[in-house]
Amino acid sequence: MSKNKNILKHLAIIMDGNGRWAKERGHVRTKGHEKGAEVTREITHYCAEHPTIETVTFYAFSTENWKRPKYEVNFLMKLLDSWLKNELETYHKFGAKFETVGNIEGFSPKLQETIAYIKKETAHHTNVTQILALNYGSREEIAKAASRLAQRNEPITEESLGNELNTPYNDIDMMIRTSGEVRLSNFLLWQLSYSELFFTETLWPDFTIEELEEIIDQYVNRDRRFGGI
Ligand code: IPE
Ligand code: IPE
Ligand code: MG
């Protein structure tokens, strides 16, 4: 009897290597972020047309990324704002709904406004949900969720805590990190418990749909046992 293939519903990506990509070409690091943002659009397009992918979560800015030089942080904030505004048209074209996880309140009021606007305008789309993890840290997410339950005097169980997280979406089936780093960097620690993990040397601005398809091919054939035999 042939083995059932795994179905991919929720894909998560740590988009890493933008700075190195730019440096290799003699550019300033921020050039890599610009190119990386284009790749994010292409991959979202692919996910919107994919028959089984419902959600794609991208790690775009971590709670630790504030440690970067001020000019780079400022650039990333501006890029996010202008990118989202430009993206509205493509969200409509792809039928993609825009969502976020992370501490949006940590951003400027203007950027928060843009984020809220794009969410509202795309809320009706159903081909794919694109979640950007923005000012996101998994430890913070888990600690805050536990604290809210405790404040409401509710029991803390796997189910209640899982539902209280800011990402009560279906579990993540597969996670890809680009750029050769083999770590999670505080990304979705709870939600990745049973995900299939893939690490590629490719830098994010060089990542292609062809490579994504190769990884998905490996994923569908992996033996996911979830503790069973
Ligand atoms: C990922 O690329 C994008 C962000 C973290 C915002 P990096 O900026 O981390 O690129 P490298 O890892 O320095 O090459
Ligand atoms: C993780 O990448 C965060 C994002 C991709 C947004 P980093 O480049 O910040 O992670 P470290 O510092 O290499 O762990
Ligand atoms: Mg990096």
Q: pLDDT digit of tens for each residue in the chain (229 aa)?
A: 457 899 999 999 999 999 999 999 999 999 999 999 999 999 999 999 999 999 999 999 999 999 999 999 999 999 999 999 999 999 999 999 999 999 999 999 999 999 999 999 999 999 999 999 999 999 999 999 999 999 999 999 999 999 999 776 568 999 999 999 999 999 999 999 999 999 999 999 999 999 999 999 999 999 989 899 8
136 touches ligand 2 (CB under 6 Å): no
Please tell me the pTM assigned to this model.
Answer: 0.96
Which ligand does the CA of 20 lie closest to? 1
Report which of 187, 133, 191 is spatially closest to residue 162, judged by C-alpha positions.
191
CB 224 within 8 A of CB 196: yes
Predicted local distance difference test score (pLDDT) of residue 208 = 98
Predicted local distance difference test score (pLDDT) of residue 3 = 73
Predicted local distance difference test score (pLDDT) of residue 168 = 60
Using most ligand atoms within 8 A of CB, pick from 14, 18, 83 the residue to mutate for ligand 1: 18
